[in-house]
A = this chain, B = another copy of it.
């Protein structure tokens, strides 16, 4: 094994567009013994920005991770890049927050079991008690943290303590039905992924399927986004829709919605885990 002691790594970056960024980045990797496996770029015309994601083989890189990181900082400074580097053996640790509905919880746990989501499940936190059995059957630590209007601040402090203890990297709100406060939001910027059961920006807030029913729409949707203090207004990561018609009751819409909620959330979580998402001006850039 080489000094870097890892098979592959993913580098993401964005910066003001100047000539030769692909060249300089690929040269940087090449001269250290890395081999690019996939590489994607996007040029954002409006702001003249260049986004790039490179996955590379690092098994032949002879220097240490620290040295590689230090060199990368210099490259980043030279071009004013915002960079992120993840080695494949550094699996992200996910906390799942859930309330009464468990379809997204089950979906995430099953996808991980099937190897679709390459992360660790650090813990499950719920303001309800009934998901303990699910957590137990998947052998994941489960914590019940009751939340009331009065105790919300304290409850989130308790959650923060749990997250620190379980070394949580990012949080998934898998139909967690409490609005978060800055205690959590500020601790995990662009690292809290929510699923909203409506096609944003339409049908914000509570009971989106009831809103959709009353409006008589012919399509309903679900939206996954990074949670911010602006309720249901954070950067959209993934969306999907499904056809409905007059014959569907609100109960039908809820059932059909569950199917797309699960998939939309899973795709968003997968993109996050695989370091595909960059955020700029409240929009996401997701590089395959």
A contacts, CB < 8 Å to B: 19-23, 26-27, 29-30, 35-45, 60, 103, 106, 110, 114, 116, 133, 137, 199-203, 214-219, 221, 235-241, 245-247, 249, 255, 258-259, 263, 282-286, 288
Given contacts A23-B29, A45-B249, 17 further A-B pairs with CB under 8 A are A19-B30, A19-B60, A20-B26, A20-B36, A22-B36, A23-B26, A39-B39, A40-B40, A114-B255, A116-B255, A200-B217, A214-B283, A216-B235, A216-B236, A218-B238, A219-B221, A219-B240
A238–B216 Cα gap in the complex (Å)? 10
Shortest A58–chain B CB gap in Å is 12
Number of copies: 4
**B-chain residues with CB within 8 Å of residue A38 when the two chains form the complex:** 41-43
A258–B199 Cα gap in the complex (Å)? 21
Contact B258 A114 (CB under 8 A): yes
Shortest A42–chain B CB gap in Å is 6
A245–B217 Cα gap in the complex (Å)? 23
Give which listed residue, B19, B29, B218, contacts A35 with CB less than 8 A. Answer: B19
Q: A199-B202, A218-B239, A221-B219 are in contact. Are A26 and B37 (CB under 8 A)?
A: no
Contact B258 A236 (CB under 8 A): no
Q: A39-B41, A41-B36, A259-B263 are in contact. Are A216 and B284 (CB under 8 A)?
A: yes
Contact B246 A283 (CB under 8 A): yes
A258–B106 Cα gap in the complex (Å)? 15
**B-chain residues with CB within 8 Å of residue A218 when the two chains form the complex:** 236-239
**B-chain residues with CB within 8 Å of residue A221 when the two chains form the complex:** 219, 241
A288–B286 Cα gap in the complex (Å)? 14
**B-chain residues with CB within 8 Å of residue A39 when the two chains form the complex:** 22, 39-41
A71–B141 Cα gap in the complex (Å)? 60
Contact A283 B216 (CB under 8 A): yes
Shortest A247–chain B CB gap in Å is 6
